Amino acid sequence: MTEQQLLAERLGVNIDPETLRLALTHRSYAYENGGLPTNERLEFLGDSVLGFSVTGHLYSHYPHLPEGELAKRRAAVVSTRALARLAREIGVGEFILLGHGEVRTNGREKSSILADTMEALFGATYLTGGLEPARDLVLRLVLPLLREVDESGAGTDWKTSIQEAAAEHHLGQVRYDVTGEGPDHARVYHAILRIGEASYAGGTGNSKKEAEQEAAEASWKILSADLAAKQAGSRGSKKS
């Protein structure tokens, strides 16, 4: 069994070996090796498979939700952050064919590369076996993320959820204190969420936006617990 076939086994799918290799071929590797085909066309195809599969599931399983709420849930599980998380859990990064420059700058951990590769793998699964195996793969991976969104009570855009909650409860201005470290080609950003005078959780990412989203997601549970405690205290004081 080749290393790439090991990845297919982890995914629980059958992918043609040549198609699988193509799905793992980043443009940096293709450029350094004489202009090989890249995984970008498969990524394009997989993006559609992902969107269709998730949209169909949401439409069937959330019959009472309006279009806006369905769109929020879909965005949560098809985002770069969500797909990169899945890729890290599976260990996709170790199988990606990268150029030397990307290897040096820790490309195997870059969210954008990981997310694009996941979409390419969805596309490769579709090409090999058709829609049903590809849809089964997508739903098997993303449904746990969707359940997390349901349980958290947040929408899909954590920053928007934080902003709306802060405005509704008059908590003060929402801001993110962001710092960066490292060279330009491998810069890492750290963000701390602050609302009014209160500080919440932090986040880290390869871009300011990614760090802020991570901080917002990590802060949501804290903020929700704080608001629930205040509401419980308010109800208790009214009863007394």
CATH 3.30.160.20 placement within the chain: 158-234
Annotated binding residues, written as ranges, equal 43, 116, 119
CATH 1.10.1520.10 placement within the chain: 3-152
Block means of pLDDT (10 residues each) for the chain, 240 residues, are 81 93 94 92 96 96 89 84 90 94 87 92 96 96 88 66 86 94 82 93 86 86 81 60
Catalytic annotation, residues: 47, 119
Span 75-125, pLDDT tens digits: 888 888 889 889 999 999 999 999 998 898 888 988 889 999 999 999 999
Q: What CATH number is given for 3-152 in this structure?
A: 1.10.1520.10
Q: How far apart (Å, rounded) are the C-alpha atoms in residues 96 and 109?
A: 10
Question: For residue 190, what pLDDT is reported?
Answer: 92
Question: For residue 153, what pLDDT is reported?
Answer: 58
Q: Could you give the residue ranges of the DSSP H alpha helices within the chain?
A: 3-11, 17-23, 27-32, 40-61, 67-78, 80-90, 100-104, 111-129, 131-152, 158-168, 208-239
Domain range 158-234, its CATH number among 3.30.70.120, 1.20.1080.10, 3.30.160.20, 3.40.50.720: 3.30.160.20
Question: For residue 181, what pLDDT is reported?
Answer: 87
Annotated binding residues for Mg(2+), written as ranges, equal 43, 116, 119
Span 29-44, pLDDT tens digits: 999 998 899 999 999 9
